[in-house]
Amino acid sequence: MTVHFIGAGPGAADLVTLRAARLIAAAPVCLYAGALVPRELLDTAPAGARLVDTADLDLDQITAELVAAHEAGLDVARLHSGDPSVYSAMAEQMRRLDAAGVPYEVVPGVPSFAAAAAALKRELTVPGVAQTVVLTRTSARSTPMPPGEQLSAYAATGATLVLHLAVQRLDELAPELAEHYGADCPAAVVAYASRDDEVVLRGTLADIAAQVADAGIRRTAIVVVGRALTAEQFRDSHLYSTHRSR
């Protein structure tokens, strides 16, 4: 048997890969985070499949479910929201599966930041404006950030900044970011990206925190900061230039 760590996408049930859909439809055991993974994905699981909501389980309990499935010879679809390569807590599960001798594979998914960019209808890398995207978070109630990974260091580059798990602290983070980007720098917040209840807020570092407070957004949101959000006057990409050497 195999544990399939599957990127279940940002929220819309149809934003999953064909491979993910096939594996879910065949898996006799499915573990998922109920608050984040669309319930419609589970409707395609086989009749009688064991469906386990991991929202209230700790790591040891989740591992026990995976090991028990392995001992029973059952494949597992382990669903993670977005793409499991970023902030999925997949690494510590893999470490425990390695110790237990349980095989696994990873199926990528649509990451939440990509869904947020789609909702904003913006490219995060614009020629001459921003060619780097920084995916990061802040440490409040979550695991502390490693030494050297300060938000100010990334902001100083002027790159497009994508913040996860930060919307509750935006009132204190926006002034810090404004010291590097300027208070007039475009900023946006996308909550519940790709879902029916998606919320999109656009503004600047001077007013985005107030918009978030007014909208009552507290979780499941992506914060994007950078000049690429409103760039209009920029040169065309060299990729399609008629002067590009072949």
pTM of the model: 0.90
What pairing do the DSSP bridges indicate for beta strands 50-53 and 3-7?
unpaired
Q: Which two tokens stand for residue 198?
A: 């998606």
What's the maximum distance between 2 C-alpha atoms anywhere in the chain? 61
List the chain domain ranges. Answer: 3-107, 112-229
Q: For each of the chain's 246 residues, which pLDDT tens digit applies? A: 899 999 999 999 999 999 999 999 999 999 999 888 988 999 999 999 999 999 999 999 999 999 999 999 999 999 999 999 999 999 999 999 999 999 999 999 999 999 999 999 999 999 999 999 999 998 766 678 888 888 999 999 999 999 998 999 999 999 999 999 999 999 999 999 999 999 999 999 999 999 999 999 998 999 999 999 999 877 777 666 666 555
Residue 137 CA from chain centroid, whole number: 11
What's the gap between Cα 162 and its chain centre?
10
Name the DSSP class of 37: S
Contacts within 8 Å (CB) and 24+ apart, 27-30: 27/75, 27/76, 27/77, 28/69, 28/74, 28/75, 29/65, 29/69, 29/74, 29/75, 29/76, 29/77, 30/76, 30/77, 30/78, 30/79
- 3-class DSSP assignment, residue 171: helix
Domain 112-229 has CATH 3.60.15.10: no
Q: Whats the size of the chain, residue-wise? A: 246
Closest to 66 (Cα-Cα) out of 28, 98, 97, 106: 97
CA distances from residue 21 to 9, 118, 195 in whole angstroms, order as listed: 11, 22, 18
Would you state the structure tokens that stand for residue 190, as one six-digit string?
């996308």
Q: What is the pLDDT of residue 140?
A: 65
pLDDT value of position 100: 97
- Closest among 96, 172, 107, 100 to 138, alpha carbons compared: 172
Report d(CA 74, CA 156) in Å as an integer: 49
35-57 burial code (b ≥16 CB/10 A, e <16)? ebbbeebbeebeeebbebebeee
Is the CATH number of domain 3-107 3.40.1010.10? yes
Tell me 147's DSSP state. Answer: T
Q: How far apart are CA 82 and CA 15, in angstroms?
A: 9
Closest listed residue to residue 15, CA positions, set 118, 164, 88: 118
